[in-house]
Amino acid sequence: QQQVKQSPQSLIVQKGGISIINCAYENTAFDYFPWYQQFPGKGPALLIAIRPDVSEKKEGRFTISFNKSAKQFSLHIMDSQPGDSATYFCAASEKRGATNKLIFGTGTLLAVQP
């Protein structure tokens, strides 16, 4: 079963618009929630991350909103640009054995049209 559910699968936004990607989880033991950005031919790269004791984190045009009671978190990209076109993955960190592992959502393909 998918431990981190991500939606939508794909998203088309006009330049200057707001892109919103949502994720939900069930495991309350998750303690770290990063978002990764992946361009074609590249591995995912960390974009922004949040811990569950914070409801919002902003870095430039990227904001994570976190709702602990609803077990949901979302990525907002303000003033979306064509260069933001990529696949975005949410993830959640779980203690596993002697380390922590990331569990990923299924990804959202974002296309920002000029």
Contacts (CB under 8 A) with another protein, residues 14-73: 32, 34, 41-46, 49, 51
Binding part of the chain for another protein, among 14-22, 63-71, 76-84, 103-111 by CB under 8 A, reads: 103-111
Residue 45, CB half-sphere, CA atoms under 13 Å: how many? Answer: 7
Length of the chain as a residue count: 114
| Angstrom distance (rounded) from CA 54 to CA 33 | 11
CB within 8 Å of 33: residues ≥ 6 apart: 23, 49, 50, 51, 52, 64, 66, 73, 90, 91, 92, 93
Closest separation in Å from C-beta 67 to another protein? 20
Residue 83 interacts with another protein (CB under 8 A): yes or no: no
Q: Please count the other Cβ atoms lying within 10 Å of the Cβ belonging to residue 112.
A: 20
Q: Is 10 in the site for another protein (CB under 8 A)?
A: no
How many chain residues bind another protein (CB under 8 A)?
26
Residue choice 52, 61, 76, 104 for contact with another protein (CB under 8 A):
104
Residue 95 within binding range of another protein, rule CB under 8 A: no
Give me the residues that bind another protein (CB under 8 A), please: 6, 9, 32, 34, 41-46, 49, 51, 89, 93, 96-107
